[in-house]
Amino acid sequence: MNNQQPVVVGGRYELGELLGRGGMAEVRKGTDTRLGRVVAVKRLRTDLASDATFQARFRREAQSAASLNHPAIVAVYDTGEEPAADGSGISQPYIVMEFVAGRTLRDILREGRKILPERALEITSGVLSALDYSHRAGIIHRDIKPGNVMLTPSGDVKVMDFGIARAISDASSTMTQTAAVVGTAQYLSPEQARGETVDSRSDVYSAGCLLYELLTGRPPFVGDSPVAVAYQHVREPAVPPSDHDTSLPPEVDAIVLKALAKRLEDRYQSAAAMRSDIERYLGGRPVQAPIPPPVAAAPPVTAATSVVAPVAAYEEEEPRSRTGLIIALGLLLIVLIAGAAYLLPNLFEKAPEQVPTPNVINKTEKQARQLIGDAGLAVGSIDRENSEDVPAGRVVRQDPNPDDYVDPDTRVDLVISLGKPQVEVPFLIGQDKDAAKQTLEAAGFDVKLKQVESDEDKNTVISTDPSQGQTVAAGTTIIVSFSDGPEKVPNVVGLQQAEAETAIRNAGFVPRVFTTDDTTEPAGTVIDQSPAKGETLSEGSTVTLQVSSFVEPSAPTSPTDTPTTDPSETPIIPPPPG
């Protein structure tokens, strides 16, 4: 029985099964024990991690990659360093990423499966959308290849390994200085192969190589060694994809060859420009890339001069001798044509009269079936996919296209919208409200901020609705509740008791009243409070108020005078009558 404890990095990420191993790192499935979610943890090889310069640059690039928040980019949740398990004491950097259930384009191409040109262009458009976002954020991928692009079960594109390739390129800029470039030589831009400084247009070139392989099943350049392949990237022009698949139209050749231009000035100047050209083609509009001229066969000069001259001379010598023969042959040809025009319609059945395909785009599935049946056609396969523009349950695409003329009973394939793609609400609790709003808007959500009573620091996110980690449709309105900050005790000294108690309750505290007559303030007046004004308390804390109960005493009353008889007084005797 194996009692070995699972490996944990960062104090919270428990490592599980191995998902993949490359020339510079290994990726394992992991569990975030704190949040209870599945993640992917990539750890750099110990020999690369031992380079202090590489470590510093990798750390900066990993932090930059973590700032990227785009539906087509594998999200980076966390980065850090752990002592290597081999006991060397080297700090081994790791990156914690979004776990994506799906397969890489490399796996799909190795199966030899045919990818339709339209689907190849759609996939590349998704990659270019991610690159455009990263370029605007100042991040160059530098390692676009089938192994770094995943397709989810719903068909969404996910680009991986942002920042890592740049860190390696910074540490070792030329192909001969690092083995990490050897594995991806088939997708190097000419300037990368020469060891020159690269910019976002190098990613455009690599995206062109990716599109080339999706269209043809092989990269634009192959060779016996990485050096031979790199030489072709620098010197040899790419063969148009239509040389390998003649069904590809000239417009697709034009897009690919412009992306693979050797000179930076001749290439698409941004990922957005290349994506726009792809969307123009998919929308049936002219592309901006120059259409390559068709290759014409060389005229047989020698044969023409050796044959034409004798014939011309022969006709000049005997023009009349062949006139009868020509007339006879002409009459015979007319008779044959007339006979064919009469007999052929009776020998073969007439081809069925074709009918136009109805336009069922944006119709419900029920409406589409009705229209297709009314046109004398049949419903073919029905696929479903997410759509930013078409509501759920309505037709996104159809094949054949609207108004195409087809035979009766032709099957019309439909793609039905599943609605907007589902996006996970980011984890934002504890962040500043403005930063949370910016993160949500970058992920395609609408945001409504709501201030609530809380003792957390002011403007700190308390909760989100829908909750963080929940999967919702892109464009959903997220209500972000943030703290109004801890409350300060108001100054209520001098106020009447009722007025003071109201002020204390409005601030989120509980008043407690004591009375005293040891004062000369009028009864009912607050003469003291604890805590004092301006102090910060948790919501619901008690504030003690001392209220005067003094009653001013009444003025003393004077005693009422009453007549008395003083025995010492001499009585007044009235005089006798006289």
CATH number at residue 55: 3.30.200.20
Q: Are 110 and 157 members of one domain?
A: yes
Task: Name residue 418's amino acid.
Answer: L
CB atoms under 10 Å from CB of 194, counted, come to: 15
Q: Are 358 and 256 members of one domain?
A: no
Q: Are 114 and 227 members of one domain?
A: yes
Higher pLDDT, 147 or 301: 147
Q: In what order do the strands lie in the sheet with 461-465?
A: 446-452, 477-483, 461-465
Contact at 8 Å (CB) between 509 and 487?
yes
The continuous run of DSSP H or E covering 232 comes out as helix 226-235
Q: Are 261 and 140 members of one domain?
A: yes
Q: Name the phi and psi angles at 114, rounded to 5.
A: -80, 125
pLDDT digits (tens, 9 = 90+) for 191-246: 988 888 888 999 999 999 999 999 999 999 998 888 889 889 999 999 999 999 99
- Point out the catalytic residue in the list 32, 143, 156, 277: 143
Residue 294 within any structural domain of the chain: no
Task: Please name which of 444, 451, 408 lies closest in space to residue 426, comparing C-alpha atoms.
Answer: 444
Strands 37-44 and 91-98: antiparallel
Token pair recorded at residue 63: 């932090």
Q: Residue 435's domain is classified under what CATH number?
A: 3.30.10.20
pTM: 0.50
Question: How large is the angle between the packed helices 250-259 and 271-282, nearest 10 degrees?
Answer: 180
- The per-residue pLDDT of the chain, averaged, comes to 81
Alpha-carbon gap, residue 212 to 228, rounded angstroms? 19
Higher pLDDT, 336 or 21: 21
Domain residues for the domain of 392 are 353-415
492: CB partners within 8 A, 6+ apart: 499, 500, 503, 504, 526, 529, 533, 545
Residue ending a domain, among 437, 464, 481, is 481
Q: Are 113 and 234 members of one domain?
A: yes
Q: Are 211 and 232 members of one domain?
A: yes
Contact at 8 Å (CB) between 539 and 487?
yes
- Specify burial of residue 385 (Cβ count, 10 A radius: 0-12, 13-18, 19+): middle
Q: Residue 256's domain is classified under what CATH number?
A: 1.10.510.10
pLDDT at residue 238, as a whole number:
94
pLDDT digits (tens, 9 = 90+) for 534-569: 888 877 888 899 898 888 777 665 555 555 555 555
Q: Could you tell me the end-to-end alpha-carbon distance of the chain, in angstroms, rounded to an integer?
A: 153
Min mean pLDDT across 34-48, 141-155, 269-283, 337-351 is at 337-351
Higher pLDDT, 478 or 308: 478
Q: What is the mean pLDDT of residues 287-300?
A: 70
Residue 336 within any structural domain of the chain: no
Strands 25-32 and 13-21: antiparallel
pLDDT digits (tens, 9 = 90+) for 26-48: 889 999 999 999 999 988 777 77
Q: Are 21 and 85 members of one domain?
A: yes
Alpha helices, H only, 262-322: 271-282, 301-317
Residue 556 within any structural domain of the chain: no
pLDDT at residue 447, as a whole number:
92
Residue 350, pLDDT > 50, answer no
Read off the pLDDT band of 574 (50, 70, 90): low
pLDDT at residue 517, as a whole number:
84
Token pair recorded at residue 560: 């009422």
229: CB partners within 8 A, 6+ apart: 185, 186, 188, 221, 222, 223
pLDDT digits (tens, 9 = 90+) for 403-416: 888 888 889 999 99
Residue 565 within any structural domain of the chain: no
Residue 91, pLDDT > 70, answer yes
Catalytic annotation on 203?
no
Alpha-carbon gap, residue 102 to 107, rounded angstroms? 10
Residue ending a domain, among 434, 449, 481, is 481
Contact at 8 Å (CB) between 478 and 466?
yes
Alpha-carbon gap, residue 267 to 188, rounded angstroms? 14
pLDDT at residue 444, as a whole number:
83
Q: Are 153 and 257 members of one domain?
A: yes
Residue 316 within any structural domain of the chain: no
Alpha-carbon gap, residue 133 to 425, rounded angstroms? 19
Q: Are 260 and 208 members of one domain?
A: yes
Q: Are 107 and 227 members of one domain?
A: yes
Q: Are 157 and 265 members of one domain?
A: yes
Residue 388 within any structural domain of the chain: yes
Residue 295, pLDDT > 60, answer no
pLDDT at residue 351, as a whole number:
47
Q: What is the mean pLDDT of residues 119-143?
A: 92
Higher pLDDT, 306 or 543: 543
Alpha-carbon gap, residue 418 to 388, rounded angstroms? 10
Residue 577 within any structural domain of the chain: no
- Residue 426, classed as helix, strand or coil, is coil
Q: Are 375 and 500 members of one domain?
A: no
Alpha-carbon gap, residue 468 to 425, rounded angstroms? 5
Q: Into how many domains does the chain fold? A: 5
pLDDT at residue 500, as a whole number:
92
Contact at 8 Å (CB) between 147 and 106?
yes
Residue 258 within any structural domain of the chain: yes
Residue 286, pLDDT > 80, answer yes
pLDDT at residue 68, as a whole number:
84
